[in-house]
Structures are given as structure tokens and as C-alpha cells.
Structure 1
Amino acid sequence: MMMMMMIKLSFFSFALLLCIASSNAQNQGVGFGYGGTNGPNKWGALSPYYSKCSAGKLQSPIDIPKKQTFYSRRLGSLVRDYHPANATLVNHIFNIAMFFGKGAGDMVLNGKNYTLKQMHWHTPSEHLINGVQYAAELQMVHQAQDGDFAVVATLFKLGDEEPFLTKMKERLERLREDKCGGNTTGQVEVGEVDTKHIERKTRKYFRYIGSLTTPPCSQNVSWTILGKVRSLSEEQMQLLKAPLDISYKNNSRPVQPLNGRKVEMFHELADKTDDDNNEVRN
């Protein structure tokens, strides 16, 4: 009996540690939100560490003006090589994220390797296409050894179920129930995930230089917005919102000025008509 109590206590302590770790990860620096006194238009004033959020000229997200994008053959097809890796779903208070262990894979950008670190969801989408905002946006965050970031984003409209989220349904439901003793943080171990299932294939993408879309809004982030709009169900969108506090359920930063930035576009079939109705057209 004593041994069982010790095991239960040990498990409780470990779970509490995970909750504290998740909470501390979010609370480094000053807290931010999506409305009121700590909303996006106030981020730059919340802390000197967040100054780029208001002073930066290369901020994200943006509204991509299709008629003003520049076709660039030099960009070439996306080069990504993902592999199965252990993963953890985390409620970060301000979004739901999946963190990957070592070996999740890389993308190659301008001859430099960027390793897949995590991915997270925003509802509704942060990036717009010609003023159109979508139901959700998945952002896959890669980082190079020198600290530079490259993010690949997929836009989602409401429709059929998204296969990967279907696989994650039970774990997302567990994350919704895991409130860590009243705190809104929590995490659920997923185990090995075959990341090839989340490698979004597309013949077209947009590329521009921007920033992280949450404080500290660090700049010189290479953004790739996939041209093919995917779909997820209403139920899946609500599952992504459910674990979050009510003030973070709509967690998209407003679009930022282009400030003269060039948005490039690559299309494997640039000179042909694409019959895919879900392809964002130029």
C-alpha cells in the first residue's frame, strides 16, 4: 500500500512539474493577449523585450496581395525531409502546439538546413490572401543552428476532416480535460508521430521575410505560405480552441503593413492552368 502511495505521489509530482514547466515557458517576460490592455496593439509597450512588435518594419502576418506577388523561378520546389519522431501536445495558454523530439527532419532554404522543432495552430488564420481570412492556420516552425527561423504555413477552410487532426482527436480531447489543477496549461504525450503525414504537398507557395507572430516578434523570419488551401471540420476547429482560455480562443494577430516588402511566388506549373479548385490562384 505504501509503495502504491509513493508511486501515485511520484506520478503526481511529475505531472505537476510538467504543468509548471509549461506555465513557465509561456510566462517568460510579460504576459500578452489578443484584446484589451495587453492586445496586439499594446504588445510593444508591455516590455522592452517586445519592442519589435511595434517598432519593427518586417512584421507578420501579412495580407498577401496576389496581383502584386513576383514569380520567382529561383525559389524552386520546397525541399523537406521529415522523419518519425516523438512528440508532445502542449497547451501554451495562447495556442495549442506540438513539440517534436530529435530527428523530426529538416527543410532546406537557400542551401541552409532548418530543423523542424514544433508546429502550432491559430484560429482564425493569421495570414490573409487578397483580404480573405481562413478558418485556421497551421505554422510549422523550423530553426537553423545559427538561430534563424523558417516557418511553413498551411491555411484551412471549413469542410472535410483533416486526416492528421483526426488521428489526434483523442489526445486533443485529453488536453482539453487536462487543466493542471485549475491552471489552463497542460500537455499530453503523443509518442512517435510520422511527420510525413503532415508534410503538405503543393505546387505553389508564397515567400516573404517577416517575423514571429507572437512576442517578442523577432524579425528576419523566412515565411513560406503554401498555395493549396486545405480543409478541417468545424468539430476539429473547436477542438483546437477548447483547451484555451476564452480570451485566447481567437488567437490571430492582425495583419501588418508590408512596408515595401516583396512577396515572391513559386509555381511548378507557372505557364499552365491549374484545375485544382483549392489552389490559391495568382
Structure 2
Amino acid sequence: MKKLGYLVLAMFSSLMLAACAQQKSEEKEKEVITTSADQSDWSYEEPTGPESWGELDPSNLTCVNGSEQSPINVEFPEVIEDRKLKGTEIHYESTSFTLENNGHTIQANPTEESNKIIIENNEYKLSQFHFHTPSEHQFNGQNYEMELHLVHSDENGKLAVIGLMIQEGNENELLAEMWSELPTDKTAKGNSEKYDMDLQALLPENKTTFEYAGSLTTPPCTEEVQWVVFEQPIEMSKAQIEAFRLIFPDNHRPVQPINEREINKNGE
């Protein structure tokens, strides 16, 4: 009878040891996963800033190995003026947006899919728009105070981005209501009141654009992104620009090598 008791006790002890070992293994695995996730976090300041994005996560390797990265410096004398090239068709209308602070920028998310652009007969719907300071693209080696990016995607997930340079000037009345309640801390997507805006009215009067093949300007720096950057800047007041900079003092990626790419000029 004693032997049976010892046998049961031994079996129980073995099971407990196995359970403890399994728990420690799972905790170790969880620790590794957590550490890996932490290492993939990126920012605009070292040691996790633009110069280190490619080292933070294998999915970010395009940030350092890519050959068509954005943003770029647009040197006007090197731009190709192609009158035969069909420009971008922009079809914007008044739409409601919600505001989000995603930890990297202020982003506006449309509540409906009514805004779209057409490039070479391919339709892209507006996914969101957001801001950078100073501007990410340069014109003749110079940055503007800010830059607005309108991000679009087609039915296959291919991306097209419209860039608007922003210079200090008059108050931008179209952005005034939205700007009065900028979320200073990171927020959840869609967790804000709705703001109505006519994006068509936000575009500059002169429709001349620079178009080139580029990438996302944030990790994972995905390429095959069609860029359309307006030459004429829009304006925001000094107070509006400073309100954004109080939240994000500097959230721009430096310009990248153009390599063998062409920049085409369209419009007036």
C-alpha cells in the first residue's frame, strides 16, 4: 500500500514539475515576443529615429535597402515637363472626418469613401490624411514649415499619395474647426467628434504637380507608391503651425536619394 502511495506521489510531483517547466517556457516565449515588439517601435528621434528604422524590425529593411524611397528633393531644373502625360484626376467633396493622434502625427480619417483620385485610369480612394513638420519633400533643397499627405489606396491595396506643402501665412479657415481640438495625447481611431471638410477647396489654385514613383515615408517604407506633389503651397497661420509643433516638434523623414528616377511635371 505504501509503494502505491509513493508511486502516486512521484507521479504527482512529476506532473507538477512538468507544469512549472511549461509555464516558465511560455513566460520566456512571451518575454521574447514582447521584446521583439518593443524593438520594432519607431520614432523620429534616435535611437529609434529614421537612421535606425531598418534595424528595428526585419519588415523595415526597405527603409535602408530600397531604391525608390520618399521623400525626395525636387530640383526644378531636373524635372521633366511632359505635356502628353495625363495628369491626376481629383474628385473630392465635402466629407466628415474623425481626428486621431496615432503617436506619430495627427491623422484625419474619413467616415465614408466619397473622395477619390484617378491616375492612369486606376481609381484610388482616400484612406486618411495627416501632417508633418517640417515638410518632408524639399523644393530646390528647401523645406516648408509643414506638409500635408492625403493617402489613397486602390482595390488591390496599391497606394497613391498627394502632398501639399504648407507655408506660414493666413489662417486656414477650412482646418480651423478641426485645429481647435487637436488631440495632444495618443488616441484611438475614430474616437472623436466628426468634422466636415471640403478637401477640394483645400487644394491650391494652381494645379501644377510633380509626380514620381516613391514609397511610404514611415516604416515599413513600402515602395511602389505613386506620389503627386503640388508645386504651389497652401497656407496656415503661425498659431496653427505652432499648435501642431507643440504636439509634434519634428516628425519628418529626411530626403532620400533619387537614384535613377524621373520626376514629371504636369499642369499649368
| Interval containing the TM-score (normalised by the shorter chain) | 0.7 to 0.9
Q: 5+ residue gaps in structure 2?
A: 1-36
Please tell me whether residue 225 in structure 1 is matched to residue 212 in structure 2: no
Aligned length: 230
Counterpart in the other structure of 1:276: none
> Contact conserved, 1:84 with 1:103, CA < 8 A, in 2?
no
Alignment map for 1:55-94 (pairs within 5 Å): 55-94=65-104
Whole-Å separation in 1 of the counterparts to 2:174 and 2:38: 31
Counterpart in the other structure of 1:41: 51
Larger Rg: 2
> Contact conserved, 1:62 with 1:127, CA < 8 A, in 2?
yes
Counterpart in the other structure of 1:267: 267
> Contact conserved, 1:120 with 1:139, CA < 8 A, in 2?
yes
Distance 1:162 1:29, change over 3 A: farther
Distance apart, 1:143 and its partner CA: 0.6
Whole-Å separation in 2 of the counterparts to 1:228 and 1:96: 23
Aligned-CA RMSD value = 1.9
Whole-Å separation in 2 of the counterparts to 1:69 and 1:28: 41
**What's the CA shift string for 1:225-264, capped at 9, x where partnerless?**
101122211110122233x3xxx42000000000111111
Whole-Å separation in 1 of the counterparts to 2:154 and 2:207: 24
Distance apart, 1:90 and its partner CA: 0.4
Distance 1:83 1:101, change over 3 A: same
Alignment map for 1:233-248 (pairs within 5 Å): 233-242=237-246, 244=247, 248=248
> Contact conserved, 2:72 with 2:258, CA < 8 A, in 1?
yes
Whole-Å separation in 1 of the counterparts to 2:134 and 2:194: 25
Partner residue of 2:215 out of 211, 227, 242: 211
Aligned to 2:99, the other structure's residue is in SS state strand
> Contact conserved, 1:211 with 1:221, CA < 8 A, in 2?
yes
Whole-Å separation in 2 of the counterparts to 1:160 and 1:146: 39
Alignment map for 1:25-40 (pairs within 5 Å): 30-40=40-50
Whole-Å separation in 1 of the counterparts to 2:52 and 2:64: 8
Distance apart, 1:29 and its partner CA: 8.3
Whole-Å separation in 2 of the counterparts to 1:28 and 1:105: 36
Whole-Å separation in 2 of the counterparts to 1:201 and 1:149: 25
Aligned to 2:241, the other structure's residue is in SS state helix
Please tell me whether residue 253 in structure 1 is matched to residue 253 in structure 2: yes
Counterpart in the other structure of 2:193: 189
Whole-Å separation in 1 of the counterparts to 2:160 and 2:143: 22
Distance apart, 1:77 and its partner CA: 4.2
Distance 1:193 1:55, change over 3 A: same
Aligned to 1:235, the other structure's residue is in SS state helix
> Contact conserved, 1:63 with 1:131, CA < 8 A, in 2?
yes
Whole-Å separation in 1 of the counterparts to 2:128 and 2:38: 18
Whole-Å separation in 1 of the counterparts to 2:187 and 2:231: 33
Aligned to 1:38, the other structure's residue is in SS state coil
> Contact conserved, 2:204 with 2:234, CA < 8 A, in 1?
no
> Contact conserved, 2:171 with 2:236, CA < 8 A, in 1?
yes
**What's the CA shift string for 1:74-129, capped at 9, x where partnerless?**
33343111123331110011100101122331100010000011100001000000
Normalising to structure 2: TM-score of the pair? 0.80
Aligned to 2:212, the other structure's residue is in SS state strand
Whole-Å separation in 2 of the counterparts to 1:196 and 1:121: 17
Please tell me whether residue 117 in structure 1 is matched to residue 119 in structure 2: no
Whole-Å separation in 1 of the counterparts to 2:170 and 2:254: 27
Normalising to structure 1: TM-score of the pair? 0.77
Distance apart, 1:36 and its partner CA: 1.2
Distance apart, 1:28 and its partner CA: 9.8
> Contact conserved, 1:43 with 1:53, CA < 8 A, in 2?
yes
Answer with 257-266 or 161-170: which moved more. 161-170
**What's the CA shift string for 1:206-241, capped at 9, x where partnerless?**
010000000010001000110112221111012223
> Contact conserved, 2:136 with 2:255, CA < 8 A, in 1?
yes
Percent identity between the aligned chains?
31
